Amino acid sequence: MNQRPLLLTQGDPAGIGPELSLRAWLERDRAALPPFAVLGDPDHLARVAAMFGWSVPIAPVAPEQIRSAFSDALPVVPLSVAVSAEPGRPDPAHAPSVLESIDRAVRLVRAGSAAAVVTNPIAKHVLYDAGFKHPGHTEYLAALAAEGGAETCHPVMMLWSEQLAVVPVTVHISLSEVPSALTTDLIVLTGRIVARELRDRFGIDRPRLALAGLNPHAGENGAMGTEDARIIVPAVDILRAEGIDAAGPLPADTMFHARARGRYDAALAMYHDQALIPIKTIAFDEAVNVTLGLPFVRTSPDHGTAFDIAGKGIARPDSLMAALRLAARLGRA
Ligand SMILES: NC(=O)C1=CN([C@@H]2O[C@H](COP(=O)(O)OP(=O)(O)OC[C@H]3O[C@@H](n4cnc5c(N)ncnc54)[C@H](O)[C@@H]3O)[C@@H](O)[C@H]2O)C=CC1
Ligand SMILES: NCC(=O)COP(=O)(O)O
């Protein structure tokens, strides 16, 4: 069994990440959570705990002390900067701590000090205002993975739950850009990574992939768009020729009901909302965002920063706890 702990990033300090980190630690025994540490500011987390009246001792630690500290206190690996944030009030000035937390978590995991990175949510537009050039964690983690001359990798976003796993082939782009961004090569590359990681990390011997069409009724023989026949059909053919169990393009409106979900292990959707609407509808509290294609394990809750409820103490920690459990499972594989 892998004894290394997990590293949980700070996320946006004005969002629900700080309170969820504290709540996850409070639930550690009941929810059988693996040991983890937050990469953040111990004083900030202590202030958030005090704000709610939660009894959470905070232990500033070095990475090698996380496991021994975890049962009695929430271990926090301190950042180089102090964090001061008001719940629900995002500010681009928080960007340095947000990014330092991610950077250090990746470095520590790659150095073998921890088993996996679990990220608390970030608000992308807030980081953009501070000059951040990557669309989101998914793409930023791939850039970090490539640092130091390592081979570039193609990150694949998968949202996973016991009921459904979905993969958006195109991710953080506008809907109007999707048809031109969608290529047979991109779909094949994504399908290969999903099939490989479902087998190697999730232990599914022969993963079944279902590819959604882009257009209504998967194009209705070209009457409602040609991308399905021109781009997706050849991708399915290539994947099948490689021995991957791939089906499609399937009409997206009928592939997510309960009986249809039993026919595949992961649905490859052609754009962000085609993938995320079904899983967030079915499993908002349990689903986990996991990045495939990286040389390390990264998971995250499926939800965002939820500024509308930050500081109210009503945010549910379920998805973060599912992300911690999945990270521990995948980090052992
Ligand atoms: N992995 C990440 O870093 C992610 C970041 N985001 C970012 O989050 C920001 C806000 O995005 P939204 O679309 O508003 O989505 P959101 O998930 O933050 O909130 C959507 C709705 O769900 C509720 N909600 C979210 N998490 C909850 C929880 N744990 N317990 C109870 N209710 C919860 C919120 O109160 C809100 O009403 C965006 O800037 C986006 O970029 C969104 C998804 C993932
Ligand atoms: N809607 C999911 C999402 O935006 C997560 O993005 P990332 O920050 O994990 O890349």
Phi-psi domain of 11 (left: phi exceeds 0; alpha: psi -120 through 50; beta: other): left
Task: Give the closest residue (by CA) to ligand 1 atom 11.
Answer: 304
292 alpha carbon, closest ligand: 2
Task: Kindly indicate the confidence band of residue 1, based on its pLDDT and cuts at 50, 70 and 90.
Answer: very low
Rounded-to-integer distance, Cα 155 and Cα 297, Å: 11
Rounded-to-integer distance, Cα 179 and Cα 235, Å: 15
Task: Kindly indicate the confidence band of residue 147, based on its pLDDT and cuts at 50, 70 and 90.
Answer: confident
The domain 1-153+296-333: what is its CATH number? 3.40.718.10
Ligand 2 centre to CA of 283 (Å) is 16
Q: Best mutation site among 303, 307, 320, 321 for ligand 1, i.e. most ligand atoms within 8 A of its Cβ?
A: 303
Ligand 2 neighbour 97 (Cβ under 6 A): no
Q: What is the dihedral of CA 321, 324, 327, 329, to 10 degrees?
A: -70
Q: What is the pLDDT of residue 99?
A: 98
Q: Taking 90 as the threshold, does the pLDDT of residue 330 lie above it?
A: yes
User: How many Cβ atoms sit within 10 Å of the Cβ of residue 143?
Assistant: 13
Token readout for 71 is 């049962």
pLDDT (tens digit, 9 = 90+) per residue, 254-271? 999 999 999 999 999 999
Protein residues whose CB sits closer than 6 Å to any atom of ligand 1: 16, 121-125, 137, 289, 300, 303-306, 308-309, 315-316, 319
Ligand 2 neighbour 276 (Cβ under 6 A): yes
pTM of the predicted model, to two decimals? Answer: 0.96
8 Å CB contact between 92 and 126: yes
Ligand 2 centre to CA of 146 (Å) is 19
Task: Kindly indicate the confidence band of residue 32, based on its pLDDT and cuts at 50, 70 and 90.
Answer: very high
Ligand 2 neighbour 137 (Cβ under 6 A): yes
Rounded-to-integer distance, Cα 265 and Cα 273, Å: 19
Any idea which residue has 């330092």 for tokens? 100
Report whether CATH 3.40.50.300 matches the domain 156-293. Answer: no
Q: Where are the domains of the chain?
A: 1-153+296-333, 156-293
Rounded-to-integer distance, Cα 119 and Cα 209, Å: 27
21 alpha carbon, closest ligand: 1
Q: Which of 316, 286, 325, 315 is nearest to 302 (CA)?
A: 286
pLDDT (tens digit, 9 = 90+) per residue, 179-228? 999 999 999 999 999 999 999 999 999 999 999 999 999 999 999 999 99
Identical fold, 1-153+296-333 and 156-293? yes
Backbone angles phi, psi at 114, to 5 degrees: -145, 160
322 alpha carbon, closest ligand: 1
Ligand 2 neighbour 279 (Cβ under 6 A): no
Ligand 1 atom having least distance to the Cα of 308: 35
